[in-house]
Structure 1
Amino acid sequence: MDITLTVILVCFVVFFIAGFVDAIAGGGGLITMPVLLLLGIPAHYTLGTGKLASSLGSITALITFWKRGAVIKEVVLLGVISSYFGAVIASATTLLISNEKMTIIMIFLLPVAILLSLFCGTLKLTEEDLPKKGLWWRVSAIGLSVGFYEGFFGPGAGSFFLIGIHLLLKAGLVKASGTAKAFNIAANLGAVTTFASAGTLYYSLALPCAVASILGNRLGAIYAVKIGPTLVRSMLYFVLVMLLISLITRFVI
């Protein structure tokens, strides 16, 4: 399809809002994916374009976490590698599915991602020492499983990485968040590599969306304390319900 100026402007606004929401309460991908589908972007291009934009936007957050020592450096390398390859395998799998079927799959996965995101938001994380037994198997399991989800679908993957790191590696909220960013970026880039090699990526749309995502994330980080996640999450799920109804009306009914 032709990427018009109107599509670029709409997506710029959407990715800015999603970046803002993601920095405060998480779940930005739950906004961008249905909007891209509603704009008529084919399913595989939606996955590739959205992941390139979000991965570039998340790098700024990772740099901040890294400088503050909020990344578990002992596990980053293995986590990044396993997340990358998990996403590569999954994104290659999606390319075997037709655009029409993939669109329907994505629509039906959205409510599942919303429910899991709600569950993740209720968990209270406490910090313990890294487990010495089976550490590398735990890291690989997190990277491959959540990385596969990221490559196949994606929304909420950042929260799932965070919860996996907390439950299996016993990390606290801050370090789990920082380490999850590294894993998530690697998974996004793994998917982007596959979609780019298949030619299912709109660079003319992904790059302005990446700029919007960076700006939204930065502004969201500034207002995180003032606004708080509760109000933002309430607004997020209201918008998601409206988007989901629109998607079902357009592609299913």
Structure 2
Amino acid sequence: MEYVLLFIIGVCATTLGTLAGGGGLISFPAMLIMGIPVHSAIGANKVSNTISSFSSFYHLYRKKEISLKESFWIIPVSLSGGISGGYIASKISAENMSIIAMILLIFAFIASFSGKGNFSGEEPLKMNKFSVPGLFGIGIYDGLFGPGQGTLMLYLFGYLNIAYIQAVGLVRLATFSSCFGAAITYIATGKIIWPLTIALLLGSLTGAQIGVRIAKKLKPQIIKPILRMVTVALIIQIFVDQVL
């Protein structure tokens, strides 16, 4: 029964995470409630996110929704940001990281009402003064703390006027890049409970495929309201975790 529940958690969390980020809102608290040790829960999420993110990216790449030549540079930028964030995290307390997370998410929420960027698809992805620092900064945040990384990245791609379905693929590629190193670390340190991780992974793979298919049918004008709802939920979750 525990494995079935983890499979369902993986489906729900990754479907949401693919569409608007914030999949950790579902998976991480649910695994802790089930009594799974915190490091094993994080490790399971990192392993499942690594593989499911690549699967959804590859699906969109195979359907020619995204170009590897155009997006390949995201990998080193996100990876280096994640490594930098991991180093900085060792110097910052958990309480301060939570405050940083809330500030970033509140800023993204307010900025979403500015009217700039609506996933119109008018612009191609390219390296410029917004995309590179933005992706590197979000990579640092992912290495520092993590929750809301995909949501923040979707805000960035929306601002850059990248088409939504392309933005989904780019976020999944960046998530694969930032989670890959972390997954290896958790595996190497023996924190992974493999039967539970595989159950979550299978659910995540299913959710990733459901998510990309739903994403193709969503109209750009409804994306920002969805992102705002996820952002508010993330802020509430982080605040509650701080209080408790």
Structure-2-length-normalised TM-score: 0.71
Cα RMSD between the aligned structures? 4.0
Distance 2:226 2:136 in 1: 30
Residues 66-85 of structure 1 mapped to structure 2, 5 A cutoff: 66-85=61-80
Distance 1:230 1:33 in 2: 24
Residue 181 of structure 1: aligned partner: 172
Which 10-residue stretch deviates more, 61-70 or 191-200? 191-200
2:77 is aligned with what amino acid?
S
Residue 89 of structure 1: aligned partner: 84
Residue 197 of structure 1: aligned partner: 188
1:202 is aligned with what amino acid?
I
Are 1:154 and 2:153 counterparts?
no
Change (3 A) 1:106 1:214: farther
Match of 1:46 among 26, 34, 41: 41
Distance 1:65 1:143 in 2: 20
Deviation at 1:106, TM superposition (A): 7.5
Distance 1:121 1:26 in 2: 15
Residue 59 of structure 1: aligned partner: 54
Are 1:171 and 2:171 counterparts?
no
Residue 216 of structure 1: aligned partner: 207
Contact 1:88 1:191 in 2 (8 A): no
Are 1:19 and 2:10 counterparts?
no
Contact 2:10 2:204 in 1 (8 A): yes
Structure-1-length-normalised TM-score: 0.69
Percent identity over paired residues? 20
1:147 is aligned with what amino acid?
G
Distance 2:104 2:130 in 1: 23
Contact 1:23 1:220 in 2 (8 A): yes
Residue-pair matches, total? 237
2:82 is aligned with what amino acid?
A
Name stretches of at least 5 consecutive residues in structure 1 with no aligned partner: none
Change (3 A) 1:204 1:66: same
Q: How far does the alpha carbon of each residue in 1:115-136 deviate from its partner, in whole angstroms, 9 at most, with x for none?
A: 57756876622322556xxx36
Deviation at 1:158, TM superposition (A): 1.8
Distance 1:61 1:117 in 2: 25
Residue 145 of structure 1: aligned partner: 137
Which 10-residue stretch deviates more, 174-183 or 136-145? 136-145
